[in-house]
Chain A
Amino acid sequence: MILLQLIYSGIALGMIYAVIAFGYQLTFATSGTLNFGQGEALMLGAMVGLTLVNMGVNYWLMIPLVCIFGFIQGGFVERIGVRPAIKIKSEFGWIMSTIALGIIFKNVAENVWGRDDLRFPGPLPESPINLFGANVLPMELLVIGGAIVMMLAIEFFNRKSIYGKAVVATSNDRDAAGLMGINTGLVITFSYALSSLTAAFAGVLIAPLTLTGATMGAVLGLKAFAVAIIGGLSSGMGVIVGGVILGIAETTTGFYISTGYKDVPGLVLLLLVLAVKPAGLFGKTAIKKV
């Protein structure tokens, strides 16, 4: 039953990847750019959440506050890092500037919260529940549920509300949306804010299961990118499937081979998918017009 247990924690981990990857999709759709500091957004969310919890704020009450923080942080990244770089039409300016902001966030976090990993007190009992013959932590179930709720909420917003339609319109054709009177600049800022919000949310979900520290974000961000690629940058279902595949691959590698190698399958999968089907397993191949 160890395998089933590994699958459970793999799914929980995979849902975290899916949420972060979902954040990549949001900004990529509207602006064609991604936040290379997405992992740091997650880390900041977890850190701010931990501070709030230590100040005596209830875990459930803390979540909306962290989401607000993530929202503001994402908007900040877009205004400082992405918008000016797009404006000067620098080819990889935004890549460098979001990396730079990520480095700065990490360094500031190290100076504010220290370099040691901290424990994040979970809101749920730590005793495992027996599910189909294998143990699963209540927190893992919360992660899975929370991730799905977050993604559904954003999808619902995009499909049903008029503001969401502005986001979808911008994703389809930025220029045409601009000509129809949509403030596409604002939509892009909004998508970044939303993307960091999901990352910060993922941060407080995962933190009680792992340790919290300034360096927790980098690898998570990279592997979430792998998930976004494996699933396809345009497919919502893809990131969930991709995330779960990667999460399970990782927990089983960690157990059966060596924890040192647990990051390898995801990255190798990323290289393979890009070499074989760059649009991702669920993405549509675009035809390039000459």
Chain B
Amino acid sequence: MTTSPSSSAGLAVRKPNLGLRVVGIVVALAALVFFPIVVPNTYYIHLAETIMIYAILLFGLDIVVGYTGQVSLGHAGLFGIGAYTAGVLAQSGSGMVGASTIWAFGLPIYGTLIVAIAVTAAFGAILALPALRVTGPYLAMVTLAFGTIIQILINEMDFLTAGPLGLKVAKPTLFGHKFDERDYYWLVAAILVIALVVVHRILKSHLGRAFEALRDSPVASDCMGVSVYRYKVYAFVISAGFAGLAGALYTYSEQYISPNTYNFELTVLFLLAIIMGGRKTRTGAILGSLIVVLLPKMLDDITTFRYVATGLAVIVAVGAGITLARGMTTAKRIAIPVIGTVGLAIFSFSLRSVTDWRLTIFGLMILLVVYYLQDGIVGFVRGLFNLGRKASVSVDTTEAEAASHGDALVTTSSDDSKVILDVRGALMQFGGLKALNNVDLSVMSGSIHGLIGPNGSGKSTMMNVLTGIYTPTAGTITYGGREIGGQAPAQIALSGIARTFQNVQLFGEMTALENVLVGLHHTFNANLAEVGLQMPRAKREEAAARERAFSLLQFVGLAYAANEEARNLPYGKQRLLEIARALALDPKLLLLDEPAAGLTAPDIKELVAIIHKIRGHGITVILIEHHMDVVMTVCQTVSVLDFGQKIAEGKPAEIQANEKVIEAYLGGEIGADVAHEAGVH
């Protein structure tokens, strides 16, 4: 295996207009550094600080909301935990509000920041516990309950937090130097840049892919050895860590914290920011935080509000005009936002004060974003200018082909006389229904074992039992001499059983290459720190995995579609991609659940060739299929299920002549007749 990143099968990461990007980054950094010099007004410096702090929190929130696709209404609570951890630890015990009741730790800022991150991350793990069992609206409510509890605790635990009185914290002192507003701004800016780089690296690594995968298909993630359980906890913990960091920075920025800040409104504000800015982008998080911080300031003043409302109406009207002219939408669809914003502009002139109506405007903005800006501003702009994902993996095919002279598959030693999988008396009961009734199944190592039967006979149930998705009611499953019944799906997957799904379970929003990379998750050993710092091991593993993933795509003939999002592939190709992804696990046993369903005749031919090649590498295959010609040509042994029971087993030719099998497929009398005729013939 090549270790040098430059020769990694021509898989260069293509960044369009690299020069332009560098210029953009330099300009942005310069603007960040020189802002407090150009604008010396402390009010504006403080505002910029708040924007950056929110942006740090939003980077973390995006991991949960954008990548794992869960709604969290608990991030204001986490933000509060970070803020109070820093606030309490920073107390030096002299002259503070309620100082007599506070322990004087007097920790310096580097200490408080680290402890705040650790404490908040721990709370993130607690928050993740119920999140493991529930999703969607349940999770939203649970996180909301969590946030509410945190706010109550901050309010009531006045021996630690001084309760509703709040805590005063001075700007930090470091190495004898007392920070002023501008110094602190630079500190926050530096941390923002570090946070941005770290979060970006995490999300582009195998960890980020795992988060995204469990959103698109939890079942498939588990069966690729990416434990949904574990990675959801990771996502919440990392996300909470960022929230804690932001909270701690916020404490020093505001110099006064009180429980009322960390309320429901703030949590909704964070969600609005991430959705409005654009999920799964760092630019979106920064943009979102810019808007949610600046907008309330603008709304404080009725004159500014009138300008903003009028400006918004004009922008929406022009935007609607452009999209309409390009035929991207219909007049009916855009009528409501145009009328709404114009109405808002008119409404703004009839108001005398806007502060009282702040929340209503805020609510209207959420509705607007939910209906018309689902992909956020960043997503909208990209859609408008047809920009794809900004860094895609380009593939130089000729170079890649030259590099992959070997084969993508790891050849396993197979002993043809040994049993690799042994199922004894498997019973799977759903209420009164026995989907599997005392089934025995022995699969010889290195063989292709067919599993057929009419619809509803229990074939897919068998697959689910073998891969741990169902825990069998009774019976034993021995794989490679070890009992695996009752193990978690991810554990079973990692021990070498890979599968495909009857109803395709790809990670739709990820590219074909990324799908296979999720299958290769087990090849990564780099931890969070190594990924964040881009240590050699992380880089090496990523390069190796990409090379491997590409050659797996070549193996199934999908190399040309490496950068295509999986959901855009035609159905037949999706099935092949599932096989490539399953092979990435380096399985000893591969379960194919109706791989030929919905395939055209030439595709089926290709599939049969691929199955033969897989077997050539010593991988045992269990094949569920309704295309009898496929089953009869590739399988050495065929087992037949009917109503949850095994009714026959043997060589393909024996099965074809078995009367019980024919009866199961065609029904009693007629079956007998057909069999008879066939016999005569």
Contacts and interface: CB of A to CB of B under 8 A. Distances in A.
A96 B138 contact: no
Interface string A94-131: 01110111111011101100000000000000000000
A275 B366 contact: no
Contacts of A36: 140-141
B264 A218 contact: yes
Interface in A36-71: 36
B129 A110 contact: no
Interface string A209-232: 000000000110010011001000
Contacts of A275: 129-130, 132-133
Nearest to B356: A111
A95 B71 contact: yes
Interface stretch (A145-153, A188-196, A259-267): A259-267
B53 to A, nearest CB: 23
A104 B344 CA distance: 14
Interface stretch (B143-151, B185-193, B383-391, B417-425): B143-151
B371 A111 contact: no
Contacts of A101: 363, 367
Interface residues of B, number: 50
Interface stretch (A83-91, A168-176, A179-187): A83-91
B442 interface: no
Contacts of A218: 264
Contact of B141 (A111, A222, A258): A222
B392 interface: no
B501 interface: yes
B343 interface: no
B34 interface: no
B141 A96 contact: no
A237 interface: no
A107 B357 CA distance: 7
Indicate the member of B152, B155, B356 with the most A CB atoms within 10 Å: B152
A226 B130 CA distance: 13
Interface string B341-377: 0000000000000001111101110110111001000
Interface residues of A, number: 46
Contacts of B132: 275
A91 B374 CA distance: 10
Contact of B374 (A33, A93, A99): A93
B430 interface: yes
Contacts of B370: 85, 90, 93, 96-97, 100
Contact of B148 (A95, A229, A263): A263
A57 B145 CA distance: 38
A268 B130 CA distance: 11
B235 to A, nearest CB: 16
A229 B460 CA distance: 32
A229 B141 contact: yes
Given A97-B370, A104-B360, A111-B356, A271 B148 contact: no
B275 interface: yes
B534 interface: no
A103 B359 contact: yes
Contacts of A225: 141, 145
A110 B360 CA distance: 11
Interface string A250-274: 0000000010110110011011001
A287 interface: yes
A290 interface: yes
Given A267-B148, A275-B130, A100 B366 contact: yes
A260 to B, nearest CB: 4
Interface in A1-47: 33-34, 36
A106 B263 CA distance: 15
Interface in B123-159: 129-130, 132-134, 136-138, 140-142, 144-146, 148-149, 152-153, 155-156
Interface string B643-660: 000000000000000000
Contact of A104 (B134, B155, B359): B359
A93 B137 CA distance: 11
B487 interface: no
B464 interface: yes
B268 interface: yes
B316 interface: no
B662 to A, nearest CB: 29
Contact of A84 (B69, B129, B133, B371): B371
A88 B373 CA distance: 11
Contacts of B356: 107, 110-111
A76 B258 CA distance: 37
B212 to A, nearest CB: 14
Given A100-B367, A104-B360, A278 B134 contact: yes
Nearest to A81: B367
A33 B145 contact: no
B148 A274 contact: no
A92 interface: yes
B219 A264 contact: no
Contacts of A278: 133-134, 138
A110 B358 CA distance: 11
Contacts of B48: none
Given A111-B356, A111-B357, A271-B142, A261 B152 contact: yes
Secondary structure call for the B interface = helix
Contacts of B484: none
Contacts of A100: 362-364, 366-367, 370
A106 B356 CA distance: 11
A229 B360 contact: no
B367 A97 contact: yes
Interface string B464-479: 1000010000000000
Nearest to B263: A218
Contacts of B214: none
A219 B149 CA distance: 11
A103 B430 contact: no
B357 A270 contact: no
A267 B149 contact: yes
B513 interface: no
A80 B464 CA distance: 41
B145 A290 contact: no
A270 B149 CA distance: 11
A99 to B, nearest CB: 6
Contacts of B369: 96
Given A218-B264, A219-B148, A268-B149, A107 B137 contact: no
A64 to B, nearest CB: 29
Interface in B411-458: 430
A33 B130 CA distance: 19
Contact of B460 (A104, A270, A290): A290
Nearest to A100: B366
B366 A229 contact: no
Nearest to B369: A96
A257 to B, nearest CB: 10
Contacts of B249: none
B598 to A, nearest CB: 18
B133 A274 contact: yes
Contacts of A260: 152, 155-156
Contacts of A99: 268, 366
A218 B147 CA distance: 13
Contacts of B136: 91-92, 95
Contacts of A263: 148-149, 152
B276 to A, nearest CB: 11
6 contacts: A101-B367, A260-B155, A264-B149, A271-B145, A274-B138, A275-B132
A-B pairs with lowest CB-CB distance, top 7: A100-B366, A104-B363, A107-B359, A274-B130, A103-B363, A100-B363, A267-B145
Given A92-B71, A104-B359, A278-B133, 7 more contacts: A36-B141, A90-B374, A100-B366, A103-B268, A104-B360, A226-B145, A275-B130
Interface of A: 33-34, 36, 80-81, 84-85, 88, 90-93, 95-97, 99-104, 106-108, 110-111, 218-219, 222, 225-226, 229, 258, 260-261, 263-264, 267-268, 270-271, 274-275, 278, 287, 290
